[in-house]
A and B are shown apart, each in its own frame.
Chain A
Amino acid sequence: MDAETVISIFLGALLAAFSFAVVFYAFIRRRQPQPTAADAPPGTDDQALADIFDAITTLDLEYQLGRMPEEDFQAQFQAYRVQAATALRDQLEAGSADPAWVLEQEILLARDAKGIAGVRVIACPNCSAAVPRSTPACPHCGAEMAPLP
């Protein structure tokens, strides 16, 4: 067996060992103690609710940018509202949230829905950019906007 063959086999064995370590690292890491709910900093226990709020904000931004038709937006927004309300109710029932805070969140959700219902922008039918409702032509692509009903 020449030196090149020995080096090749050694490097191959090294690669195999490395691969083995990479594959099993996930199991070792998982066995380490995971942070418990009690260790979590205050305010992170209701991540699901925060995620829904973020999703609503993103949805609103996307809608303002004209990336989705109004009907889709309203349908999705309603779905998020239901999710958020359910999450709030769950927290209340589990006793992990202050009822006053829950009420405040619910009022804000309702107000936001009202604000959004009065559509401020519409999507350009050509390039889908968000265009103020009173604008006669799309400022992005120049397409003529449909007249207001």
Chain B
Amino acid sequence: MSELGALSLWIALALAAYSTVGSVAGKLRLSPALVESAQSAMYAAGLALLVATLSLVIAFISRDFEIAYVAAHSDLAMPYRFTWVAFYAGNEGSLLYIATVLSIMSAIAVWRAPEKFKDALPYTTAVLMLTLTFFLAVTAVMANPFDKLSFVPLDGDGINPLLTHFGMFFHPPALMAGLIGITVPFAFAMGSLLAGKTGDEWVDAGRVWGMISWVLLASGLLLGSWWAYTILGWGGFWFWDPVENAAFMPWLGITAFIHSIMVQKRRGMFRMWNIILINVAFGLALYGMFMNRGGSVPSVHSFGASQLGWIFLLFLAVGIAVPFAIFIWRYPLLKSAQNLDSMLSREAAFLVNNLLLLAIAFVTLWGTVYPLVSRLTSDTEITVARPFYDQVNGPLMLALIFLMGVGPLIPWRKAGMASLRKTLLPPAVGGLATVAILASLGLHKEFALLAFGLAAFVTSGILMEWYRGTRSRHRGSGENYATAFLRLIMANRPRYGGYIVHLSIVMVTLGIVGTSFFSTQRDVVLSPGESTVVGDYELVFLGTVETPKGNRTEFISTVQVFRDGDLLETVRAKRDFYPSFNMAATTAAIRSTPVEDLYIVPSENLPDGRVGFRILVNPLIWWMWVAGPVMMVGTVIALWPQKIRAPVPVPGPRRFASGPRPSAA
């Protein structure tokens, strides 16, 4: 099927290029037929890319090793379920995946674009299709997944062992979709500017697609952390690795954007600022893709490295320079409908939140590019490590959590001191009480105390809002509390969905603080029958069973876990050695509870039967993994379309005369 795949790829490229040119030309020449034709070409490009994707999947399933990409990323021993992972195991497949996702998102975005945005839609289509044209041109010319070998090997090289993990089914596709998804709100913003529609027409579409990109990136980051935690064998989940940072920075940018766009939607403010934010987010997303594909900095994701860096760097430069030029061109038209009434208002809180998010993004960017800067300015390469990020980003993140608690509780426009005191008092009491209780229990790490206090502050504020709203509905309409709570959530989905997402961020905070300040680690070498003590746990190593498999040797070590003399559980940790890759992949044995994780990973199997173990006790990390589904639920609620609510009992709107209008004749 390689011919069909290659043909589809080229057809999609031609259609995307035509759609780019046709959209702009049709708009400028006032030719609706050309605009419509260009739009149809965009839909057809999506279809062609689906055919190309399907062709590559079939090539993997049929083990068509004549295709170089299939031979490089699969073998006969690879279970069929990993076909999906093998698809994007290298650059060629990843680029095809990115292009397909972009084409589908573009088609849906244009199809569902609001009627009031119709005038600017050709420009939006052109921006989307120009981006797609770039990715397709790189794929077709420089990294074609359908290129053939001059001979047909009997077997392939196999899939990278680190990718044979459940998290890999979702982590890379979610991240790649999130990164490229930022193109959609960016295209709406650019379309709006190019058409001279500098009002709020693009806001609804921008917000929805911004949130979709946000949740994809957030899920991808959390799944990536889970993958690192369970398979990389060092017991942590975040390394401030350049490729991790490359996905984290656009997430920060788009987080700022989806908050700020709410202010424009509600108050017609921050028009310029939102354009700047979406440009920054898009630039950071392009930088993320450059880091992923360029391989300019050493990373645990080095299997994605390639020689495509320069072309992505070029696209990054154009992707930053051109939008800012357009912004400057349209600057005089971008006047907000309102001014900031007071610094004690929700919109001011959103603005400070934006600045903090951008500060974290730029600190992270500086840390990520510093090795490159140091290499250029001196002979030695200086790598920026975790202490830098912790010391600089840590306080900024705490300030952000504080604002997460304050922002939703203060009103729009202006808050009076009295009402502010009244609103913030209960959550403040909740936060202070938590600090007092933890301190009395013997917890004296100031930074951790502050973080737990702020987490309690945010949670108390959200629970207070829910309770107050539910009670009000219960009293007003007689609904029982469960119904009143559900109807409260459904009545204002963006607001209450946002609260659920904020709760998930609190959960992530608990996991980060717990593991950063209270984690215990021990590295030991144990013979069968030996035991060791870590924290409250006593661990007895029973022995290792070695099993040769098709492409690897499996070492499964069995460990009994005791606490206070009672057997809690018998766990098994695995270490697979892949001779063809000269690489080992570990699967940690994790005893997970909401209080703490006991994490056991075999780091080395010695010939005499002894095993080197890394054992950690990670408090509260369980909350971090639970945060993912909670975040998804919150986002789905926030995004769920909401019909106009039945008005509260007030006189109905005055109607105008209807019916046939008489003519003058």
Contact = CB atoms under 8 A, between A and B. Distances in A.
Given A19-B11, A22-B40, A130 B1 contact: no
Contacts of B37: 23-27
* Most chain A CB atoms below 10 A, which of B18, B33, B654, B659: B654
Nearest to A27: B33
B518 to A, nearest CB: 37
Of A27, A104, A116, A139, most buried by chain B (CB within 10 Å of CB) is: A139
B247 to A, nearest CB: 34
A15 B662 contact: no
Name the residue among B8, B267, B477 with the largest chain A CB count within 10 angstroms: B8
A57 B655 CA distance: 7
A97 B663 contact: yes
Interface string A3-16: 01101110111011
Interface in B369-394: none
B7 A141 contact: no
A19 B15 CA distance: 8
B465 interface: yes
B465 A141 contact: yes
Contact of B411 (A18, A96, A125, A131): A125
A70 B32 CA distance: 39
A115 B168 CA distance: 60
A139 B11 CA distance: 57
Interface stretch (B424-432, B449-457, B501-509, B640-648): B640-648
Interface stretch (B435-443, B488-496, B599-607): B488-496
Nearest to A115: B654
A127 B647 contact: no
B23 to A, nearest CB: 12
A23 B34 CA distance: 9
Contacts of B413: 69, 125
Interface string B625-665: 00000000000000000001101111101111101111110
A19 B41 contact: yes
A105 B419 CA distance: 45
B7 A132 contact: no
A46 to B, nearest CB: 6
A131 B648 contact: yes
Given A12-B7, A96-B663, A105 B656 contact: yes
Name which of B11, B650, B653 has the most chain A CB atoms within 10 A of its CB.
B653
Interface in A24-42: 24-27, 29-30, 42
Contact of A19 (B4, B44, B492, B649): B44
A12 B409 CA distance: 58
Given A12-B11, A23-B18, A26-B36, A140 B492 contact: yes
Interface in A57-91: 57, 60-62, 64-65, 67-69, 72, 75
Interface string B236-276: 00000000000000000000000000000011100000000
A120 B650 contact: yes
B650 A129 contact: no
A130 B650 contact: yes
B476 interface: yes
Interface string B1-35: 11110011001000100100000000000001110
Interface stretch (B190-198, B316-324, B467-475): B467-475
B608 to A, nearest CB: 54
A99 B661 CA distance: 11
B561 interface: no
B472 A15 contact: no
Interface string A91-117: 000011111110011001101100110
Nearest to B116: A55
B648 A121 contact: yes
B43 interface: yes
Contacts of A68: 266
A22 B43 contact: yes
A126 B465 CA distance: 10
Contacts of A9: 3-4, 7
Contacts of B328: none
A62 to B, nearest CB: 8
B1 A12 contact: no
Q: Name the residue in A16, A61, A72, A142 with the highest tally of chain B Cβ atoms < 10 Å from its Cβ.
A: A142
A132 B647 contact: no
Contacts of B33: 26-27, 29-30
Given A111-B654, A139-B472, A139-B476, A72 B15 contact: no
Contact of A142 (B39, B47, B472): B472
A141 B41 contact: no
B654 A60 contact: yes
A108 B512 CA distance: 62
Contacts of B4: 7-9, 11-12, 15
Contacts of A4: 1
A73 to B, nearest CB: 12
A65 B266 CA distance: 13
B355 interface: no
Contacts of B472: 137-142
B645 A132 contact: no
A26 B41 CA distance: 10
Contacts of B492: 127, 129, 140-141
Contacts of A62: 644
Given A64-B647, A99-B664, A69 B11 contact: no
Contacts of A61: 644, 647, 653
A143 interface: yes
Contacts of A29: 33, 36
B11 A57 contact: no
A100 B422 CA distance: 57
Contacts of B644: 61-62, 65
B509 to A, nearest CB: 25
Contacts of A139: 472-473, 476-477, 648
A132 B411 CA distance: 18
Nearest to B337: A72
B648 A130 contact: yes
A133 to B, nearest CB: 9
Nearest to A138: B472
Given A27-B37, A53-B656, A130-B647, A19 B412 contact: no
B541 to A, nearest CB: 54
Interface in B103-149: none
B51 interface: yes
Contacts of B44: 18-19, 22-23
B82 to A, nearest CB: 24
Given A125-B411, A132-B649, A144 B488 contact: no
A43 interface: yes
Sorted nearest first, the 8 A-B pairs with minimum C-beta distance are A12-B7, A125-B411, A142-B472, A142-B468, A26-B37, A8-B3, A30-B33, A26-B36
23 contacts: A15-B47, A15-B51, A22-B44, A23-B15, A23-B44, A60-B654, A61-B644, A64-B647, A69-B267, A96-B664, A98-B662, A98-B664, A99-B664, A108-B654, A126-B409, A129-B648, A130-B648, A130-B650, A131-B648, A140-B492, A141-B472, A142-B469, A142-B472
Given A8-B7, A98-B662, 15 more contacts: A4-B1, A19-B15, A22-B43, A23-B37, A23-B40, A27-B37, A30-B36, A53-B656, A57-B653, A109-B656, A128-B266, A130-B647, A140-B492, A141-B465, A141-B492
